[in-house]
Amino acid sequence: MKASIELDKKKYTIDLAKPLDISIPLRGNAQNVNAWYLGHPKIEPHRDGDFVGRVAEGGSTNFNDIWFNPHAHGTHTECVGHITEEFHSVNQNLDRYFFRAELVTVVPELREDDWVVSRHVLDHAMQSAAIEALIIRTAPNGRDKLSKHYSHTNPPYVLPEAVELLLEKGVRHLLVDLPSIDKEKDGGALSAHKTFWDFNGQLRKNATITEFVYVPDGIEDGFYFLNLQVAAFENDASPSRPVLYKIEP
């Protein structure tokens, strides 16, 4: 099922029957991906007196309670409300869901004791300035990204200088396969987040950051249309399901 999308007076064709899901599913056990020093998510039958929300235990329906944190437990999309005193909802600020995107694979470089995505690394990887969204896949790209526990591991992160390059290129939606675009323990500086959202200037309220994606090696670098699906949570961040569609000739 093919669809034609017009953007900036150019028409693109995508096949809606061939989605490429780059989200990490949420599981209610310790095998779930995890960060920020929290326990694992829980998906459990609701219990209230004699009622149990599990058919296998005699209940009439499966009726689960779910406990999780969107920032720590899987693919999520966040808005500037993540770092502001004033409340901003990603559900309100994200009002479009299809974007022309580029996928790049980068090898973080070592600076002192940190592996970082620098401006040089990103500039070398990107092919175009005419995109709204950028997906960064870091190498190595093992399937352990689907279940890794990142707390106290100092994972790679994105330098503010690299974020400045994205602003110059007009990128409004950044997606990474990392728990954060900032250093795990930075004393609360959040320099890359603040640069991306222009925290000290005109807030970029309709710009988003999506973290904890997973892009299998079988998906090639290049240009796609991104469908950024976000659950309707009135919160600074929401679980999300980014889906790529290859642009056809």
Residue that is written with structure tokens 């990103």 in the block:
122
What average pLDDT does range 240-244 have in this prediction? 98
Segment 179-204 shows an average pLDDT of: 98
**Distance, CA of 2 to CA of 12 (rounded, Å):** 10
Pairing of strands 208-211, 173-176: parallel
Q: Are 7 and 100 a contacting pair, CB within 8 Å?
A: yes
pLDDT at 144 over 80: yes
If one compares 131 and 233, the residue with the highest pLDDT of the two is 233
Q: What tokens appear for 45 in the block?
A: 């039958």
Question: What pLDDT does residue 135 have?
Answer: 98
Q: How confident is the model at residue 249 (pLDDT cuts 50, 70, 90)?
A: confident
Whether cis (ω within 30° of 0) applies to the bond prior to 242 is no
Residue 230 contacts residue 90 (beta carbons within 8 Å)? yes
Mean pLDDT of the chain: 96
pLDDT for the residue 3 = 85
Residue 64: count other Cβ atoms within 10 Å of its Cβ: 13
- State the alpha helices, DSSP H only, in 102-233: 119-125, 160-168, 191-196
Among 158, 171, 157, 153, CA closest to 36: 153
Local confidence band at 1 (pLDDT 50, 70, 90 cut-offs): confident
Q: What is the structure's pLDDT at 87?
A: 98
Does the pLDDT at position 8 exceed 80?
no
14-43 pLDDT, tens digit per residue, is 999 999 999 999 999 999 999 999 999 999
Domains and CATH numbers, the chain: 2-25+74-248 (3.50.30.50)
CB atoms within 10 A of CB 113: 6
Distances (CA, A) of 175 to 23, 53, 80, 149, 226: 11, 36, 15, 19, 10
Q: What pLDDT does residue 160 have?
A: 98
Task: Return the amino acid letter for 99.
Answer: F
Closest CA to 126 of 160, 165, 98, 161: 165
Could you tell me how far CA 167 lies from the centroid of its own chain? 18
Alpha-carbon span 53 to 51, nearest angstrom? 7
How far apart (Å, rounded) are the C-alpha atoms in residues 102 and 99? Answer: 10
DSSP state of 82: G
Q: Provide, rounded to the nearest whole percent, the portion of the chain with pLDDT above 70.
A: 100
Q: At 111, which helix (H) or strand (E)? A: strand 109-111
